[in-house]
Amino acid sequence: MLVVGGLVVVAGVVLGVLRLVSHDGGSGGATVPSAFRGTWYGTHGGAEMSLELKDGKVGAVVGATTYLGACTETVTLLEVGDGSSIRVHEAAEPGDTVCTDEDITLTLQGSGRLTLHYESFAGSDPDGTVAMTRNGGGRAT
């Protein structure tokens, strides 16, 4: 009985690991959902910004964030959530002294609206969240 129980535990662990790898996109090939793709506009800290997202798998560069007058950063897909949210990593150019690397959660808020949340900010900190739209007031270039 001890050997059988051990085999059951090993099988359960293996199946659990396989399920995790498939869910997080590591080998499952999760991609940017179509509702996120395109260009989004918003304002962060008084600066106009744009976020461009294209299709791509977890671990791939899927776009760029431009902060008008400051910098442009590459955006890499980290995780695909339940269809209404994704996580990305924003990377500054080497040697950039203005912009910093950030992990970001993007959440759809309805037709043409998206919330961008910088994970380094507390959830209740208004400076950590940017409301973005497809056709926002200013357009960063």
User: What is the residue-level pLDDT of the chain in tens, covering all 141 positions?
Assistant: 334 444 333 333 333 333 333 344 443 589 999 999 999 999 988 889 999 999 999 999 999 999 999 999 999 999 999 889 999 999 999 989 899 999 999 999 988 899 999 998 877 777 789 999 997 554 444
98 and 75 co-located in one domain: yes
User: Tokens at residue 130, please?
Assistant: 């940017």
Examine the domain organization and report whether 8 and 66 are in the same domain. Answer: no
Q: Looking at residue 8, what is its pLDDT?
A: 37
b/e for 34-59, b at 16 or more Cβ within 10 A?
eebbebbbbbbeeebbbbebeebebe
- Can you tell me the distance from the alpha carbon of 113 to that of 135, in angstroms, rounded to the nearest whole number? 9
Q: Which domain range does residue 55 map to?
A: 34-133
Residue 81 maps to a domain: yes
Q: What pLDDT, on the 0 to 100 scale, is given for residue 140?
A: 46
In a domain, 141, yes or no: no
pTM for the model stands at 0.75
For 117, phi then psi, to 5°, come to -125, 120
